[in-house]
Amino acid sequence: MNFLNDSIRSDKFITNGKEVFNVTFLDKSGERRVLTSDQLKLISAFGDRFVFADPDVFDGQVEIFKSAENGGFEYKLSVDNNTDLIIESVKFPILRIPCRLKLDGGNDTIFWPSLEGTLVERANDNKYYSDAVERFGGGYTGLAPAGVSMQFMAIYSDKCGLYFGTHDKNCNFKDFEYYFEDNDVVRFECTHFTGGCKDYLMPYPFVLREFEGDWQDAAEIYRNWLYASGMALPKKLKERKDLPGWVYDSPVFMIYPVRGNTDKDCDKAMAENCYYPYSNILPVADKYARSFESRIMALMMHWEGSAPWSNPYVWPPHGDLGDFERTVRELHKNNNLIGLYASGIGITTKSVKDSSYDITDRYINENWSEATCRDSKDKEIKVTELSFVREGFEVCPYCKKTVDVTVDEAVKIAKADVDYFQAFDQNIGGMAHFCWSKEHGHPAAPGRWITDSMIKMLQSIRAGISGAGKNMLIGCELAACEPLMEYLTCNDLRWFITLRQGRPVPAYNYIYHEYVCNFSGNQNELEKTTDFSAAPDNLLYRTAYSFLAGDILSVTLGEGGRINWGWNAPFKDDFPESKHLTEFIKNANKWRRSFAKKYLVFGKLLKTAPANCKESVAFVTKKSGVISDRVILNRRFSADDGSVAEFFVNRTFSEQELHLGKRAGKLYRTPEESGELTDTVKLKPGEICCIVDI
């Protein structure tokens, strides 16, 4: 199928009378009024300019401008608005694309940029549509910059592909979404948030371009534009002098709670567990430091002195502060590290996890309502999607109170010699929730001002930490979005959540790996999607996937220092087999600290063909069933010196054969030993090998 077909080439998708754009306006009371293209008349279509108007419907007009660029087409849209309404958002373009996805018997695949990269291969199981406005900018949506950085989607087959994206170096808010009108037609759309302007001219082009290949080729289009765009990306990791040294040492993130067993626990069930007092983690950290032959980042949950996940007043920690301080000293003495999770910017009035925590009076007395995010009708936005954890409100990053409290808490934690603070859990990609307040002083609709406010907040946090003589690193949930990468260099990835609607691919690292160094996350929500026992090597698979994406590795702990399937999996029993995993992590970090560091830590991911080996079950999901993959996973990297290396991992519990055929290169079976290539290589469970091109 030719996705950039005659309909798009001849502009029939604009002129066929179906909805190709809509504009959402806000009146003074915050009511929304939506104007769609099919409500208007196409009054002019000369050359590459299309004008929509109808004075009986709308006092103004909408124009679409088209140009042919770089082998594709670029579009902009403007709205001349003579009404007293403001523009909240513009949805454009809306494309209806014939398709038949792979698992529906067809040959097509959709790439969606959320959660570091998602491939959608089945329409029936993946009817997913999310409106960023309905979630106030939160949640796992297609919102960029937030849970999404790369500003494109794609659909492709083995014959051709269509790239659907924006080339916006200033990272204005936009939401990339898809949904199926039926099993054979998918709707692609992009919503652009304008910041509440009167008139609008899209300040960047929307790009439609044909390509051949798969998601990697689409990512290559975006990466090539990005590198030439002048976007304010940070320096590459290897060039940064401001980061703590541990970032480059590949510590293993060891994630565990000190109260309760999972996030489902409340009150009595949220009692102190085997990792409290805090010093109970010391022998566990030492044990895994020896087993992994690596430094350990002991990363705690449920430690807050308020209640679990109850922001913003989290310091001092729960219980025995003296023991906490001793634990920090001992971890550092043994060359290990300490990290804390927190829950982003917001105000918790009541905890569900610990019902004794109630600061409603403080909320009122300190006039927190002046800083809360407001919806379009000026109502306070309650904490979204976390009613099982807490009651409270989202707060606006523009407001001084929000910034002051957030900075103050972070500096207190830095002064306690904490090495890493995952401060922005629930602020997906590091971004704040939307706010429509007319009283805060910012524009009365979501827009670039939110990003600017978060940048200023993160700059203030950095200055406060530095002023305290510390170098604590700050992180967020999911990978940091483009404009925040400078400040959020190491973050908690959630790529595995793509299993609810497809399969993961490391598109984020494909584009940005040289600039950030994330870790493989706490594996939260896998217990909802995955039948662990049906694919008992899937934890090894996940860890191998992260290694080949270039991420720092992590494990989560259940009771008694046992490695668990992931956070919120059963805490006391049904643990995975961990012998192969432990050996793999030890060897993986040897590779990351060896000559291969220039690839695995600092390198650029390259397009990679699947390894020549058999397939087997990788995951069994509770919704879609079996997801298969190659028994040996692989990824190519390039280094700054121009050299290229390809890494291979046996992600199963049994020996596997890798067929290399005739190729030039040097084979490394360990980081220290190289030899001549052979046609076939046998890899033991979890074993890694590398081929350096010559």
Asked if residues 322 and 328 have their Cβ atoms less than 8 Å apart, the reply is no
Give 182's strand partners. Answer: 185
pLDDT by residue (tens digit) across 602-617? Answer: 999 999 999 999 999 9
Q: What is the pLDDT of residue 2?
A: 65
Residue 598: phi and psi, rounded to 5, are -65, -20
State how far the Cα of 443 lies from the Cα of 633, in Å rounded to an integer.
48
- Give the torsion sign (CA, 584, 586, 588, 590): negative
pLDDT in tens, 554-581: 999 999 999 999 999 999 988 999 999 9
Stretch 619-646: mean pLDDT: 93
pLDDT digits (tens, 9 = 90+) for 424-466: 999 999 999 999 999 999 999 999 999 999 999 999 999 999 9
pLDDT at 419 over 70: yes
pLDDT at 621 over 70: yes
* Angle, helix 579-592 to helix 281-292, in steps of 10 degrees: 70
Residue 124's pLDDT band (cuts 50, 70, 90): low
Where residue 224 falls among pLDDT bands split at 50, 70, 90?
very high
pLDDT at position 469 is: 98
What pLDDT, on the 0 to 100 scale, is given for residue 47?
Answer: 84
Q: How many CB atoms lie within 10 A of CB 682?
A: 12
pLDDT band for position 129 (cuts 50, 70, 90): low
pLDDT of residue 622: 82
Q: Tell me yes or no: is domain 6-229 CATH 3.10.20.
A: no
What is the mean pLDDT of the segment spanning 183-205? 95
Amino acid letter for position 252: V
Integer-rounded Cα radius of gyration of the chain: 25
Would you state the pLDDT for residue 363? Answer: 98
Task: Quote the CA–CA distance of 270 and 354 in Å, as a whole number.
Answer: 7
| Average pLDDT for 75-102 | 96
Phi, psi of 548 (to 5 degrees): -75, -15
Can you tell me the distance from the alpha carbon of 328 to that of 282, in angstroms, rounded to the nearest whole number? Answer: 9
Predicted model pTM? 0.97
pLDDT tens digits, one per residue of 651-661? 999 999 999 98
382: pLDDT strictly greater than 80: yes
Going by pLDDT thresholds of 50, 70 and 90, the confidence category of residue 4 is: low
Amino acid at 255: I
Cα end-to-end distance, the chain, whole Å: 38
Instruction: Return the number of other C-beta atoms located less than 10 Å from residue 43's C-beta.
Output: 11
For residue 429, what is the DSSP state? G
| 8 A C-beta contact, residue 160 and residue 66 | no
In this predicted structure, the answer to whether residue 9 has a pLDDT above a threshold of 90 is no
Which residue type, as a one-letter code, is found at position 171? C
| pLDDT tens digit sequence for 278-329 | 999 999 999 999 999 999 999 999 999 999 999 999 999 999 999 999 999 9
Residue in the structure block whose two tokens are 């905890």 = 351
Q: Where residue 500 falls among pLDDT bands split at 50, 70, 90?
A: confident
What pLDDT is stored for residue 351 in this prediction?
A: 98
Which tens digit of pLDDT belongs to each residue from 205-222? 999 999 999 999 999 999
Mean pLDDT, range 464-492, rounded to an integer: 97
